[in-house]
Amino acid sequence: TDSDIIIMLVGMMKRKEGTMSRKRLKAWTTEKIGHLRTAVAHNPTDVLALEALAALLFETVMEDPSDARLRREVEKLYRMVILLRPDDAFAHFNLATTMMVPYADEDSEHGVRGVPTPVANQIVDILKRAHVLSPDDMDIVTNLCLILRYQGRTTELRKLQRDNNLAFEDAIDEMCIEDVRKELGKAKSLIDRKKHIQAEAVLAPLVKAAPSQPDAWFLLGLALHRQTDDQSPEAEPLFRQRVVGAEVAYRKALALDKTQKDAWMFLGLMLATLRLRYTEAEKCFNEVLKLEPGHPNVRRYIQMCKESATK
pLDDT tens digit at each of 311 positions of the chain: 444 544 444 444 444 444 445 566 567 677 778 888 888 888 889 888 888 888 888 888 887 888 899 999 999 999 999 999 999 999 999 999 999 988 887 666 567 778 888 898 999 999 999 999 999 888 898 889 888 887 777 778 888 888 877 654 443 344 555 677 788 999 999 999 999 999 999 999 888 877 778 899 999 999 999 999 887 887 888 888 999 999 999 999 999 888 899 999 999 999 999 888 999 999 999 999 999 998 888 999 999 998 888 87
What's residue 166's pLDDT?
A: 65
Check residue 124 and give its pLDDT.
94
Looking at residue 48, its pLDDT comes to 86
Amino acid identity at 62: M
State the pTM of this model: 0.49
Distance from C-alpha of 126 to C-alpha of 117, rounded to nearest angstrom: 14
pLDDT at position 248: 94
Burial 234-257 (b: 16+ CB within 10 A, else e): eeeeeeeebbebbbebbebbbebb
| pLDDT value of position 81 | 93
